[in-house]
Every structure is written in structure tokens, then in C-alpha cells.
Amino acid sequence: MALIKCQDCGKDVSTAAANSPQCGRPMAMLTGKAVQTQRKGGKYEGVGFLLILVGIGACFISGAVGGILIFIGFVVFLIGRFL
């Protein structure tokens, strides 16, 4: 368990904490790839990418459902790119 600085309030926050106790910023945004990007659209890109992956998986069950999920994921990903 380590302490890292919250990017919003500058307080030391445990990496095990889900949110910054001071400002409530989600700590998942402070670790991993999100630290490098630090862009507002980064999480949309992540969600979009996840939807595309889920959509690809859903294609094995239903091509229509998978196609819709991939499409939504692609749109969300693009929104994240332009934020």
C-alpha cells in the first residue's frame, strides 16, 4: 500500500482507497495509463474500448447485439478522442 498525491487537491491518498477522501476524485484515474493522459476524454476512450471488446465477445452469441455494442463503443471512443 503506497501513498500518492491527489491531482485535484494535492493530498496524500492511499492507492488502496477508491476515492480521494478530500475531494472524492476516483483514485483509479491516478494510477496506470490515466496518469499519463490526464485528459477528460480518457475515461470515455476507456469505456468505448471496453464496449467494443464486450461487443466483439457478444458477436459470438448474437451478431446484431455485438454490432450495436461495437458501434456504441466506437461512438463513445470517438467522443472521448475529441474531449
Nearer to Zn ion by C-beta: 23 or 56?
Answer: 23
* Residue 19 buriedness (CB in 10 A; 0-12 / 13-18 / 19+): middle
Instruction: Pick out residues in 23-42 that bind Zn ion (CB under 5 A).
Output: 23, 25
| Residue 20 binds Zn ion (CB under 5 A) | yes
Rounded Cα distance, 78 and 68, in Å: 15
Among 14, 15, 22, 31, binds Zn ion (CB under 5 A): 22
| Residue 7 binds Zn ion (CB under 5 A) | no
| Residue 4 binds Zn ion (CB under 5 A) | no
Q: What are the cell numbers at 29? A: 484515474
79 three-class SS: helix
Query: Where does this chain bind Zn ion (CB under 5 A)?
Result: 6, 8-9, 20, 22-23, 25
